[in-house]
Amino acid sequence: MYILLCGFPPFNGKTDGEILQSVLKGHVSFKHAEFDSVSKEAKRFVTKLLEYNTETRISAEDALNDPWFVKMLGNEKVDTNLSRNVMTNLKTFRVTREIVDDNLQ
């Protein structure tokens, strides 16, 4: 969901080890320009999904019933800019992954 909203993963590093260290720290930032147009509700939802502690992390059922998620699936008017951004972010992430994968080979 984080990638869908901004186009890059929440945890980064140059190697798998660095990425895992970033995951272990568990800090997620929304201070990137890509998040300027993302609602507080969406950020709150992503934070619940990325909670490191499995005991307090939102369940799949609760995620499906989250007010922001329900709103995005419901009949309410969907922010077309957000929809457009999601598609762009998916394309960007895919291209970035292909470049990284090519460089690793």
Closest CA to 97 of 36, 1, 12: 12
pTM exceeding the 0.75 threshold for the entire prediction:
no
Sorted by where each starts, the structural domains of the chain and their CATH numbers stand as: 2-104 (1.10.510.10)
At 3-54, the pLDDT tens digits run: 888 888 899 888 889 989 988 888 888 998 989 989 999 999 999 999 989 9
CA distances from 80 to 18, 85, 104 (A): 36, 8, 36
